[in-house]
Structure 1
Amino acid sequence: MIPSPAPSRRAVATVSVVGAGRLGTAMARALTEAGLTVNGPFRRGERARRADVVLLCVPDAEIAGAARAHAGIGRRLGHTSGATPIQDVDFGLHPLQTFLGGEGLAAFRGIGCAVAAHDHDGLGVARDLVDALGARAFVIDDGARGSYHAAASIASNYLVTLEDAAEQVAAATGLSPAETRALFAPLVRSTVENWAAHGAASSLTGPIARGDEATVDSQRAAVAEHAPALLPLFDVLAERTRALAARKEPSP
């Protein structure tokens, strides 16, 4: 793995995207809108056309096979996995964003993209693609990929799991999932913006932050009654929130 100093720039004009899932579809559309010539996205079993870069947007378990199938048809071969090392490709480029598949260039503007490569040319290709997308490249070493991708999953995937739990608990009030999302979404957005601006400890509010354990006990009883399957999750979250509250600096 090479260090992070910026390599010399090398233009990428053509890209073949392999994988027609959510990311592959969004990546192909975004790179096209950025002015590159894009082939694909190619589906499973299809061989990509020759291009400056072949970009694999396939499930992690399929990367090695796809790399073998598409070896030699591009100047550089890359994958878009956040968790998989780059031993089978020349570079990695992982957009730190969630996609539904219909997005274009606007969805990539300003986001972070984790890049890695075996040499400066590979890193230059990855950076060129990130620049074309209007995103921000940052280097992740293969040895740190597990921690990086776990952090991304906690920040994104597990947040969705928590919001689903909130919908289930709120059902006891008579609110439908759609009503819960409409009513709670402004709270969630404000919380995330506060975290982004001030960090977790400074953004924490609620009964645990206030030391109001009686209210926490009342909440726990409600979860136990109406959504008992969520009680272990509630207890773990309460425990970790108490630890976070202990890090919060007292008000002057």
Structure 2
Amino acid sequence: MNTHQTVLTLPTDVAGVRIGFIGAGRLGQALAWSLAHTGLKVVAVSSMLEEHARALAAPIAACVCMSPQAVVDACDLVFVTTPDSVIGATCDSLTWHSGQAVVHCSGVTDVGVLTHALTQGASIGGFHPMQTFGDPHAAAQSLPGCTITVEAGQAELMQLLLALVERLHCVPNRLPAGMRGRYHAAAGYTSQFINALFDQAVRLWQTWGATEEEALRALLPLAHGTLSAIQTAGVACGMPGPVSRGDLSSIDKHLSAITPMGPEMLDFYRTLCSVTVPLARQAGGIDEVQAQKFIDLLKA
């Protein structure tokens, strides 16, 4: 239960909001630099690893604080960019107050993990950039144009988060409460699962002596073309390949070729190919009779 009245009292101009970061990993660094480069006031940072805090702070002249509580005490808006597993414990260990806000940047962790701050009068929310953060400098460069998912229970905080998205030249996505698991899983399909698909394709190329580099040189343009088609025509109508044109014979040959690779790869191919059948039907590339023939072949 919220034992304090939650009232967000921030400067009317977003440029006057004092922003702090608890956690200075790759995401924290990229986001802090990006916000600062738009003219916003990133004033304080703390991290379990002091060298990370200094790496974040140095380019933007932020203060390196010796404790997370010092960040909370100095800031109006605090981003918790720690590993997901310690977001809740980090929030619970701190003293918050009415008039400030705390948000985490996890895609999958529920905003409710920040409830301790809410009970002390702070506003809570989520701010998740849908971007990879392998290298913070590269991530900061590629952040403009990406989608940032925002969640907040209070209208004033939602307005602030949307203003930050706009300053970053990103696209806002409002997420209803309780949907973070599905949302994050969806992101996984179009990020790390692509690596799994390429792994399977590369393994097939390697059976005739090709290297991974050679396989990727051939396959990446194909993937780029498919993504371009999806962007233009949508998921179903942008799908290429034999199922989309009713080519049952090619799929039969694929199954025969993959069978010697073992049941795991074969089952994976069958599962993926089965998912494409209703897409081809939706796009009008095959009729119901053809769709059933594909289904029967893939189940055989």
TM bracket, shorter-chain basis: 0.7 to 0.9
Q: Given residue 182 of structure 1, which amino acid in structure 2 is its aligned partner? A: R
Change (3 A) 1:193 1:9: farther
The answer to whether structure 1 residue 225 and structure 2 residue 272 are counterparts is no
Indicate the larger mover: 66-75 or 178-187. 66-75
Alignment partner, residue 16 of structure 1: 20
Q: Superposed, which structure 2 residues align to 1:54-65 within 5 Å?
A: 54-65=78-89
Q: What is the distance in 2 between the residues matched to 1:28 and 1:145?
A: 23
Rounded Cα–Cα distance in structure 1 between residues aligned with 2:160 and 2:139:
20
Question: What do the CA deviations read for 1:168-197 (whole angstroms, capped 9, x no partner)?
Answer: 122113221122112211110110111122
- Which deviates further from its counterpart, 22-31 or 11-20? 11-20
Q: 2:96 aligns with which of 60, 72, 84?
A: 72
AA paired with 1:98? T
Equivalent residue for 1:214, pick from 223, 245, 249? 249
Q: Secondary structure at the match of 1:200?
A: coil
Aligned-residue offset at 1:250: 4.3
Structure 2: 5+ residue runs without aligned partners? 1-10, 50-65, 115-123, 287-300
2:145 partner SS: coil
Q: 47, 52, 55: which one pairs with 2:67?
A: 47
Q: Distance in 1 between matches of 2:78 and 2:28?
A: 12
More relative contact order, 1 or 2 (CA 8 Å, 6+ apart): 1
How far is the alpha carbon of 1:115 from its aligned partner?
0.6
Kindly report structure 1 stretches of 4+ aligned residues shifted beyond 4 Å. Answer: none
Cα distance in structure 2, aligned partners of 1:250 and 1:212: 10
Supply the RMSD in Å over aligned alpha carbons.
2.4
Q: CA deviation at 1:94?
A: 0.9
Whether 1:35 and 2:39 are equivalent positions in the alignment is yes
Q: TM-score scaled to structure 1, two decimals?
A: 0.86
Counterpart in the other structure of 2:132: 98
Select which of 79, 82, 85 maps to 2:110: 85
Distance 1:154 1:178, change over 3 A: same
Report matched runs for 1:34-183 at 5 Å.
34-39=38-43, 42-44=46-48, 47-48=67-68, 49=71, 50-72=74-96, 75-89=100-114, 90-102=124-136, 103=138, 105-183=140-218
Q: What's the CA shift for 1:10?
A: 4.9
Q: State how far apart, in whole Å, the 1-side matches of 2:43 and 2:241 are.
A: 51
Q: What SS class does the counterpart of residue 231 from structure 1 fall into?
A: helix
- Report what 2:56 is aligned to: none
Cα distance in 2 for residues equivalent to 1:153 and 1:172:
28
Query: Is residue 28–residue 40 contact of structure 1 (8 Å, CA) maintained in 2?
Result: no
> Does structure 2 conserve the Cα–Cα contact (< 8 Å) formed by 1:64 and 1:88?
yes
User: Does 13-22 or 89-98 show the bigger shift?
Assistant: 13-22
Contact 2:131 2:139 in 1 (8 A): no
Equivalent position amino acid for 1:42 in 2: S
In 1: Cα distance, 2:111 partner to 2:229 partner: 35
Cα deviation, 1:20-47, whole Å, max 9, x if unaligned, reads: 3331222122222222233565323763
2:244 & 2:157 partners in 1: Cα distance? 47
Aligned equivalents of 1:20, 1:229: Cα separation in 2: 40
Counterpart of 1:77 in structure 2: which amino acid? V
Measured in 1, the distance between the counterparts of 2:95 and 2:202 equals: 47
Deviation, 1:209, is: 1.6
Q: Percent identity?
A: 27
- Rounded to whole Å, the distance in 1 between the matches of 2:108 and 2:154 is 20
Contact 1:96–1:111 (8 Å) recurs in 2: yes
Q: Which has the larger radius of gyration?
A: 2
Amino acid at match of 2:199: D
Q: Is the deviation greater in 87-96 or in 187-196?
A: 87-96
Change (3 A) 1:161 1:75: same
User: Following TM superposition, by how much is the alpha carbon of 1:240 offset from its aligned partner in structure 2, in angstroms?
Assistant: 0.8
